[in-house]
Structure 1
Amino acid sequence: MQTFHSLRIHIYQYFILCVLLWFPYEVKAQFTNKISAQKEQHSIFSDILWFNSEIDSMARVDVYCLVPYQSLQFTPVPLGFQGMYELIISIKDDSGKKWFEKKTDKSLFVEKYEASRGANAEFDYNQHISMLPKGTYSITIIVKDALGKSEYRHEKKIQIPQLPLADSKQSIYQMSSIMFASSIEEKPDGKILITPHISDNIADLSDGFFLFFELYHHGNLSNDTLALYYEINNNDKVVLKSEPIMYNAGKSKVQQIYMPVKQALSLKALDYTIQLYAKESKNGVIADSILAISGRSLSIEKTINGIVYTDLEKAIKQLRFVAMQADIDIIKSSKDPDEQKRLFDEFWKNLDPTPSSSRNEAFEEYYERIEFANKNFRSYTDGWMTDMGMVYIILGPPFQTDKTPRSSDGRSYARWIYQDNRQFTFVDNSGFDDFRLTNPFPSGTKYRYKGN
């Protein structure tokens, strides 16, 4: 079992870890088992990366799969709840030859039902390692929920380049796959802790992220200076290009490099590719020819975090059903966007039911209800501003609903019944599903997180 807030474990302390990389060289970067994954529900997360190995002309390919507990169905058992799934990983080359296939049965246990629904942001971590020669490979990851009878499938391709022999004299630069890292922390002893992000979707990385990769130099050592930069593309059009970073290369066979990415969060919710380039730089002049290149897919999907922080001004207005007006006024009083975001985050931090975890279930539930209201209760205004939207956001989905056919006078009624016997009646006088409460909503009633 892994958690998003579990303790960091050092590579130099353990040989086999639930961390993401093992290097045959002297390791300068270390990885935490606080692996970052998107907070999507009912999904799995995967990544495929290749790195050089100590075996001539062979690459080490790492296949990662994270299965969030909330993606599975759990059943009551003595002392808690149990979930089960089957994991299938298969690797084929472009000729159809099967290089690997493995089926694994997994069993999970939690003491409390809330944990099975993601309250602690727990997930099951899987990693498979294969040694593969040059070629293009299709990798299929299948998760079959034994109890829920649902299936999740990811199919990805990876291309392994020709890797020179260890005794090659030709000077060649190569880059490994690119890993997204949500954070990189330098410890007092000089060690680097990296938190990998197992997903193409970077929408929730609101503070930016890093590109982590290895740079390989084959041949005699040299004093080369390389210019490293990345481009983000959509439909073959460059939408973002970083400034080049000068890097002293050629003095080591392998170097681990990480580059910060901040601007990508301003992009629209679309699918992209990111390309990383290495070019020679002499006397401040960057050559046109490319010495090494690596790339991967990148996406910005509409997650709750992504939607909220795309329009923070609207998100602050939408606090009306959870915050007092004085709280909203404090947040709005600052004209500095960064300070507004800090105050907004601080407000939600105070309502976080599980402050020791990376998730804030109250924040997620509240804005998911707003999204639902906007999609289902829109009338002459946004769904969250309607009476039905207000009741739904504050109290959640009703236990029972009734709706009468439109009468001869053009009116239609809807009734929502909650398990605590509270009832709310709405009337549409217009014929356009503009349902209004027939009685005022209880004054001062605010949204409060109650858990599942």
Structure 2
Amino acid sequence: MKIIVSYILALSVAIGVFICPPEAFGQNVYGSDNFPGRKVFEVDYAQFKGADPELNLLEIYYKIFTSGLQFVRDGDNYRATYEITGTIYDDNGLQVTAFSTEKSITLSSYSATTSPADFRISQIKKSLPPGKYKIEFRLVDNNSGGSSKSTLKAELIRYDNRNPQLSGIELIQAVDTAVVDTVFTKGNLSVIPAVSRQLSGDINARLLYYIEIYRGTDDLKNVQIETRILDRKFHTMYTDSMTADFGDPNGTIREVRHVSLDNIESGDYYIDIALKNRRGKVFDRARTEFYLYWSPEAMIINDYKTALSQLRYIADPGDIKTMEKAENSEDRIEKWNEFWLSKDPSPGTKENETKNAYYRRIDFANRNFSVMKKPGWRTDRGMVYIEYGEPDQIEDYPFELNSKAYQIWYYYRHGDPRRFVFIDEWGDNDFRLLYPYDGRTW
């Protein structure tokens, strides 16, 4: 048996996450959701050829969410200060280098301090020889004293081939002509990293990426760039190709591309980029993964039936019937907005905390509980997770010769303890909920 205890509440206090009390949202459990919750930060990286032929340029990107920091009053404003530290180890576990920086954020309103849409992006550059590395990235909230850590693994390749080579793939959110030199400057471009590997499948959504192509010792004039989107079984969902010329005197092509994500369903994918000659010979290939999720608004347009079905855990049957009567897209959107406005614990503000928490839970269920062709939100574990959030404790009993795998989820919050038992009846990882279905056993 493996017991997994949730430390989300304790961690939230430690890192100073602003959590509104349940009373602020009436009886609506979604308004006080903490998990997957307000992230503190995200980290990503990409590698490029360095100015020194013996060293690569490792770029470490980070995104700090203001809602994960503790703010204190500073006159008429609110201020948070935090320290970022990082340690890089080689493949033998020996420290190679480290970095540290302290920063602050000042906001003019309390609502901005809790907005999940407010964040800061920056990056750190390190020159390292080719090899395998582990990067430990830590953020310390100076106001609360709490800290959070993330670990990345990076393998830096050697850029000394005679044939063209690819840099790492940097997923980006914006690019512009560089006016002044900043940490985001690459040649004559200012490239802002996306950091997150989760992309929203909104209407007309697209994936943006930046790569560099190095000519190598052969004096090639151009190269073909093939871009593909692959699903988890490596089926091609999208493909295109173009020819790029080595016009730079240094033999470097800086390329920004965008890929349409239309008609691609939610799920895990790879972006695969190959360099080829005119005969189709592959010189080099780079691949990285990302996760695409359709926003609720995109689902209204693309799959209204599923969008309504996903409301089963929060909407009354009458509400769903009203929305089913919508005759066109405009009417659907209007009724949809009316429904969620009725659930908004803080009307008049930009964020609808209930809606945000609800769809965070659906996304988590899809990523963790999906089986075969059944999305996670339709499974029994997904249902309980969406309705009640992350369990306070999980007892996990894996499959054994004389017993089937099962899990017990415990909830102790709000003075209403519940216990849910799930069993993997057929060994297909689709854990079914056992009676009592409401989890009340005492």
TM tier relative to shorter chain: 0.5 to 0.7
Alignment correspondent of 2:42 = 45
- The change in CA–CA distance for 1:347 and 1:136 in structure 2 (over 3 A counts) is farther
- The change in CA–CA distance for 1:215 and 1:305 in structure 2 (over 3 A counts) is farther
> Given the alignment, which residue of 231, 241, 252 partners 1:245?
241
Q: Counterparts in 2 of 1:45-84, with a 5 A limit? A: 45-84=42-81
Alignment correspondent of 1:365 = 354
Contact 1:182 1:208 in 2 (8 A): no
Alignment correspondent of 1:25 = none
CA RMSD of aligned residues (A): 5.0
Paired AA for residue 45 in structure 1: E
Q: How big is the shift at 1:40?
A: 6.4
Alignment correspondent of 2:327 = 333
- The change in CA–CA distance for 1:42 and 1:370 in structure 2 (over 3 A counts) is closer
Give the Cα separation in 2 of the matches to 1:172 and 1:215: 10
State the secondary structure of the residue aligned to 2:111: helix
Alignment correspondent of 2:214 = 216
Give the Cα separation in 1 of the matches to 2:189 and 2:339: 30
Q: How big is the shift at 1:174?
A: 0.8
CA shift digits 1:408-437 (9 cap, x unpaired): xxxxxxxxxxxxxxxxxxxxxxx97599xx
Give the Cα separation in 2 of the matches to 1:402 and 1:96: 47
Contact 1:229 1:278 in 2 (8 A): no
- The change in CA–CA distance for 1:198 and 1:307 in structure 2 (over 3 A counts) is farther
Alignment correspondent of 1:290 = 282
CA shift digits 1:277-298 (9 cap, x unpaired): 122223xxxx3x4201112232
Contact 2:267 2:293 in 1 (8 A): yes
Alignment correspondent of 1:261 = 259
Q: Counterparts in 2 of 1:279-428, with a 5 A limit? A: 279-282=276-279, 287=280, 289-300=281-292, 311-315=303-307, 332-334=326-328, 360-362=350-352, 365-366=354-355, 368-369=357-358
Give the Cα separation in 2 of the matches to 1:129 and 1:274: 24
Give the Cα separation in 1 of the matches to 2:132 and 2:38: 31
> Given the alignment, which residue of 120, 125, 134 partners 1:124?
120
1:156 aligns with 2:155: no
Paired AA for residue 215 in structure 2: H
Give the Cα separation in 2 of the matches to 1:434 and 1:95: 48
Q: How big is the shift at 1:192?
A: 7.2
Alignment correspondent of 1:175 = 166
User: What's the TM-score once normalised by structure 2's chain length?
Assistant: 0.59
CA shift digits 1:132-162 (9 cap, x unpaired): 1211111111112233444322211222211
User: What's the TM-score once normalised by structure 1's chain length?
Assistant: 0.57
- The change in CA–CA distance for 1:342 and 1:279 in structure 2 (over 3 A counts) is farther
Q: How big is the shift at 1:69?
A: 0.7
State the secondary structure of the residue aligned to 2:115: coil
Q: How big is the shift at 1:248?
A: 3.6
Paired AA for residue 196 in structure 2: S
Paired AA for residue 181 in structure 1: I
State the secondary structure of the residue aligned to 1:365: helix
Q: How big is the shift at 1:100?
A: 1.6
1:110 aligns with 2:126: no
Paired AA for residue 333 in structure 1: E
Structure 1: where are the runs of 5+ without partners? 1-38, 165-169, 389-399, 405-430, 436-452
Paired AA for residue 368 in structure 1: A
Alignment correspondent of 2:23 = none
Paired AA for residue 50 in structure 1: Q
Q: How big is the shift at 1:176?
A: 1.0
Contact 2:132 2:153 in 1 (8 A): yes
State the secondary structure of the residue aligned to 1:143: strand
Compare relative contact order (CA 8 Å, sep 6+) and give the higher one, 1 or 2: 2
- The change in CA–CA distance for 1:296 and 1:340 in structure 2 (over 3 A counts) is farther
Give the Cα separation in 1 of the matches to 2:174 and 2:259: 11
Alignment correspondent of 1:228 = 226
Paired AA for residue 69 in structure 2: L
Q: How big is the shift at 1:367?
A: 5.0
Contact 2:225 2:273 in 1 (8 A): no
State the secondary structure of the residue aligned to 2:195: coil
Alignment correspondent of 1:421 = none
Give the Cα separation in 2 of the matches to 1:173 and 1:196: 24
Give the Cα separation in 2 of the matches to 1:305 and 1:186: 32
> Given the alignment, which residue of 81, 86, 91 partners 2:88?
91
Q: How big is the shift at 1:311?
A: 5.0
State the secondary structure of the residue aligned to 2:257: strand
Q: How big is the shift at 1:256?
A: 1.8
Paired AA for residue 351 in structure 2: E
State the secondary structure of the residue aligned to 1:85: strand
- The change in CA–CA distance for 1:59 and 1:316 in structure 2 (over 3 A counts) is same
Give the Cα separation in 2 of the matches to 1:255 and 1:264: 28
- The change in CA–CA distance for 1:220 and 1:110 in structure 2 (over 3 A counts) is same
Alignment correspondent of 1:137 = 133
Contact 2:136 2:151 in 1 (8 A): yes
State the secondary structure of the residue aligned to 1:66: strand
Q: Counterparts in 2 of 1:184-195, with a 5 A limit? A: 195=192
Give the Cα separation in 1 of the matches to 2:140 and 2:168: 28
Contact 2:162 2:216 in 1 (8 A): yes
Give the Cα separation in 1 of the matches to 2:151 and 2:302: 30
Give the Cα separation in 1 of the matches to 2:296 and 2:144: 25
Give the Cα separation in 1 of the matches to 2:341 and 2:289: 36
Q: How big is the shift at 1:365?
A: 3.3
